[in-house]
A and B are shown apart, each in its own frame.
Chain A
Amino acid sequence: EPEVTQTPSHQVTQMGQEVILRCVPISNHLYFYWYRQILGQKVEFLVSFYNNEISEKSEIFDDQFSVERPDGSNFTLKIRSTKLEDSAMYFCASRSSRDRRSYEQYFGPGTRLTVT
């Protein structure tokens, strides 16, 4: 069964550094998402991406964040100048647009980001 993959599984970085989190969505999916989940809190939407551009973003997704689909398979989230409060689990998700269940998202296993 196809699945979303994410790398790395755990990233430790120092405050002020830049990190890039990588995701490979399911191959025939067209919509891609990033979410974050701070430990013990709910899953929060960051951004959605379709047709090589951002389609929606939340208030959390400010100038510190950017997303890119550099090739046909990867989908990346860049966080510049990381802060302690960026420590969280970051999930990538994707969904199809072609069938009846097209709004169903499938999540990757997440990248745990620890900012020290």
Chain B
Amino acid sequence: RKEVEQDPGPFNVPEGATVAFNCTYSNSASQSFFWYRQDCRKEPKLLMSVYSSGNEDGRFTAQLNRASQYISLLIRDSKLSDSATYLCVVLNFNKFYFGSGTKLNVKP
């Protein structure tokens, strides 16, 4: 079973839409969780950490459900510049495991 699983998408949405991604992880002892975004042929860039209480940063909201072992990312009022691949990342004992990413295309 993969450590981290994501729906590869693509999610094709119009500007202004709200879109949500989910990610599941297999190791219940996982310690920390993150969302990164990656543009084509570029490095992953940290979007936000995900805390048990949930956290929000502008148009982005991340949630963690430890009981069900999933993490979510909600993007409100999506912009053209949000088009990217969103990577779910899980920390297990100083090893970071990346999901394969969910591709988002925001269309005008």
Contacts and interface: CB of A to CB of B under 8 A. Distances in A.
B98 A44 contact: yes
Nearest to B2: A42
Contact of B34 (A41, A104, A108): A104
Residue of B34, B42, B94, B100 with highest tally of chain A CB at under 10 A: B94
Interface residues of B, number: 22
B43 interface: yes
A84 interface: no
Secondary structure type dominating chain B contacts: strand
B90 to A, nearest CB: 11
Given A89-B41, A109-B43, A110-B43, A42 B98 contact: yes
Interface string B1-32: 00000000000000000000000000000011
Nearest to A102: B32
A104 B36 CA distance: 10
Given A42-B101, A43-B87, A105 B41 contact: no
A65 interface: no
Contacts of A55: 94
Contacts of A56: 93-95
Interface of A: 31, 33, 35, 41-45, 48, 55-56, 58, 89, 91, 101, 103-110
For the complex of A and B, 8 pairs with smallest distance between CB atoms: A107-B43, A43-B98, A42-B100, A103-B32, A56-B94, A56-B95, A42-B98, A107-B44
Interface of B: 31-32, 34, 38, 41-46, 49, 87, 91, 93-101
